[in-house]
Each structure stands twice: as structure tokens, then as C-alpha cells.
């Protein structure tokens, strides 16, 4: 199973989603692959935002070696599931899809909800971490059941 987490910059939310999901997947001894990307190219090659690195570290997860990259058409082929953090990411990714099969891989990370962008508000990193952690656990259970 290959899972891609997507947000706008690939420096705040999706690196957390990648790191948290990776940790949960490893804890369950699954050999799933988890990656992340951003719809925008502003931060290509950069480390995650220092506030995301800090909140993850506080909870025992090291995301500091991740590097930002931009979502690309080939990701539709490479990944089984593409989880987007908000509706804008959803629109941007869906616009790049060309077949129904590609479109079917794209889902909001939390059904009918946006993961709020913490970039402009330091106080949001902890709640975003918690929200993503809870949803990763749910997704992992759902995906395991789907693949039984």
C-alpha cells in the first residue's frame, strides 16, 4: 500500500501526516509506504516548518529529514491513496487528474472537513498534530479492513 499526504506547501500539515502515519504503520508492522507533497512549489527542497518539527519531536516523532516536494501527475500512478488536507488542495489535485481511476484515489484526509492551515498561527500546531494523529489511526484501521 502506498499513501500520499498532500497540503499546500508540504512544510506544515502533510509532513506531520506523513511522520505520524509512518510511525503508526511501523508500530503495526505493516510495510506500507507513506510520502507527502504540496500542491504549490514555493518550498521545494526545504525542511518542514520548524514548528511542525518541534510539535512532532515533542511527541516522539522525527520529521526533520523530510524535504518538501511538489505534487506531480506521476503521483496518481505511484500511489494507491492520495489524502488532501483541505478543499483547495482537493480542487488543485483533482484538476490534475485525467481519468476516473485517478480521481477515485483522491480523498479529503478527514471526510467533509478541512485540516486548518497552521502556518499563520503558532497556537494551531498542537491541535493540528492531535487532529492528524486521531485521523491517521482511523484511516489505518479503515484501510486495513478494506484490504482484508
- Of 3, 10, 93, 133, which one interacts with ligand 4NP (CB under 6 A)? 10
Shortest Cβ distance from residue 28 to ligand 4NP (Å)?
26
Q: In angstroms, rounded to a whole number, what is the distance separating the alpha carbons of residues 140 and 135?
A: 8
Q: Which positions are catalytic?
A: 7, 13, 117
- Map grid coordinates 479492513 to a residue: 145
**Closest to ligand 4NP by CB, 30 or 108:** 108
Which of 117, 106, 113 shows the shortest CA–CA distance to 87? 113
In the chain, the N- to C-terminal Cα span, in Å, equals 12
| Residue 40: exposure state from Cβ atoms within 10 A (0-12, 13-18, ≥19) | middle
Residues numbered 20 to 59 that lie near ligand 4NP (CB under 6 A) are 38, 42
Number of residues that bind ligand 4NP (CB under 6 A): 11
Residues numbered 63 to 122 that lie near ligand 4NP (CB under 6 A) are 117, 119
User: Applying CB under 6 A, does 19 fall inside the site for ligand 4NP?
Assistant: no
Site residues for ligand 4NP per CB under 6 A:
7-13, 38, 42, 117, 119
Amino acid at each position: 500500500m502506498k499513501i500520499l499526504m498532500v497540503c499546500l506547501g508540504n512544510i506544515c500539515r502533510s509532513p506531520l501526516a506523513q511522520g505520524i502515519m509512518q510511525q503508526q504503520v511501523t508500530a503495526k508492522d505493516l510495510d506500507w509506504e507513506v510520502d507527502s507533497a504540496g500542491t504549490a512549489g514555493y518550498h521545494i527542497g526545504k525542511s518542514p516548518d520548524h514548528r511542525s518539527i518541534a510539535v512532532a519531536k515533542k511527541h516522539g516523532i522525527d520529521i526533520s529529514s523530510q524535504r518538501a516536494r511538489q505534487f506531480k501527475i506521476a503521483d496518481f500512478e505511484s500511489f494507491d491513496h492520495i489524502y488532501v488536507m483541505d478543499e483547495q488542495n482537493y480542487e488543485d489535485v483533482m484538476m490534475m487528474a485525467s481519468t476516473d481511476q485517478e480521481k477515485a484515489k483522491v480523498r479529503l484526509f478527514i471526510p467533509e472537513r478541512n485540516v486548518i492551515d497552521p502556518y499563520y498561527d503558532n497556537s494551531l500546531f498542537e491541535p493540528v498534530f492531535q487532529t492528524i494523529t486521531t485521523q491517521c489511526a482511523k484511516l489505518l484501521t479503515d484501510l486495513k479492513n478494506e484490504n482484508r
